[in-house]
Amino acid sequence: MSILKLSEPSLVAQPGPTIRITGLTKVFGRRGQETTALSEVSISVKEQEFLCIVGRSGCGKSTMLNIIADLETPTGGSVDVGGRKVGMMFQDANLFPWLTVEGNIDLALKLSGVAAELRKDRIQELLETVQLAHVATKRPHELSGGMRQRVALARTLAQDCEILLMDEPFAALDAITRDAMHEQTERIWGERALTVVFVTHNVREAARLADRVVVMKPNPGRVGSESLITIPRPRTMEDPRVAEAAALLHDMLHTQEMPDD
């Protein structure tokens, strides 16, 4: 069986998706100095799907996540998440340095409206989810980069999100720590039945994690191709099939970067 299968672009017609992106366009700048970050992007994300979006810098990947998270307003088109809660994890952990690990998570719970008497148990549950109960009283500067990202993940999960957006969250980590974070993310995705949209420059990371990969075209950002990753789970970065799928995605990515005729 082929390890990578081209799928029909724009699954928007599929009934009941978790995320429905239709004709999404985003333009920055004033009249005469506009930059079109996204142009007529249409993507549908199925419930509990792990979707990776790859493309070079400037093709609108992060802008798309920001719009899904309601942090940016689209210029045209629409995004529909069906009223589901959306959480977003960034490349930087952005933890408050004066708060402990549990203090950072407690603040997220407080801002989400969780009552004080319920927060202690929720903090413990979230720390156990990311396997960090043993560092609850430490501050961010006492943690490794991977641990800080796991705290950031716990803080995002504190929002009880059903959709998890991840914007290159492991790009700054070393290879061994990144592999461990892949395992953690895949485990939590399965345990919590999340729908994940994961942005990355790393085609091997996409092949390792994704059910489906969307390759973006630049200038302006738009969908170039969509591919299903058919490699059975669990996967590892060292799996030759993951390397082969990554090579195919790499070729697709470079093809999409070529100017249109």
Instruction: Tell me what pLDDT residue 235 has.
Output: 93
pLDDT, tens digit, 9 for 90 and up, residues 201-223 = 999 999 999 999 999 999 899 99
pLDDT, tens digit, 9 for 90 and up, residues 165-213 = 999 999 989 999 999 999 999 999 999 999 999 999 999 999 999 999 9
Instruction: Tell me what pLDDT residue 261 has.
Output: 39
Task: Give residue 64's domain range.
Answer: 4-84+162-257
Q: How many Å from the N-terminal Cα to the C-terminal Cα in the chain?
A: 33
> Based on the domain organization, do 149 and 128 belong to the same domain?
yes
Instruction: Tell me what pLDDT residue 12 has.
Output: 41
> Based on the domain organization, do 156 and 166 belong to the same domain?
no
> Based on the domain organization, do 10 and 78 belong to the same domain?
yes
> Based on the domain organization, do 105 and 210 belong to the same domain?
no
CATH number at residue 54: 3.40.50.300
**Nearest Cα residue to 197 out of 165, 229, 238, 152:** 165
Average pLDDT value for residue range 245-249:
94
Q: Which residues contact 36 (CB under 8 A, 6 or more apart)?
A: 25, 26, 27, 220, 221
pLDDT, tens digit, 9 for 90 and up, residues 45-87 = 999 999 999 998 889 999 999 999 999 999 999 999 999 999 9
> Domain for residue 90, yes or no?
no
> Domain for residue 154, yes or no?
yes
Distance of CA 186 to the CA centre of its chain: 12
- Which tokens hold the place of 163? 């959709």
> Based on the domain organization, do 62 and 99 belong to the same domain?
no
Q: How far apart are CA 199 and CA 43, in angstroms?
A: 14
Q: State yes or no: pLDDT of 41 exceeds 70.
A: yes
> Based on the domain organization, do 77 and 175 belong to the same domain?
yes
> Based on the domain organization, do 184 and 241 belong to the same domain?
yes
> Based on the domain organization, do 180 and 65 belong to the same domain?
yes
> Based on the domain organization, do 169 and 248 belong to the same domain?
yes
Instruction: Tell me what pLDDT residue 11 has.
Output: 46
Cα distances from 200 to residues 59, 107, 171, 185, 210, in angstroms, run 12, 28, 8, 14, 11
Tally the domains of the chain. Answer: 2
> Based on the domain organization, do 134 and 249 belong to the same domain?
no
> Domain for residue 56, yes or no?
yes
Question: What is the SS3 string spanning 55-119?
Answer: CCCCCCHHHHHHHHCCCCCCCEEEEECCCCCEEEECCCCCCCCCCCHHHHHHHHHHHCCCCHHHH
Q: How far apart are CA 122 and CA 142, in angstroms?
A: 23
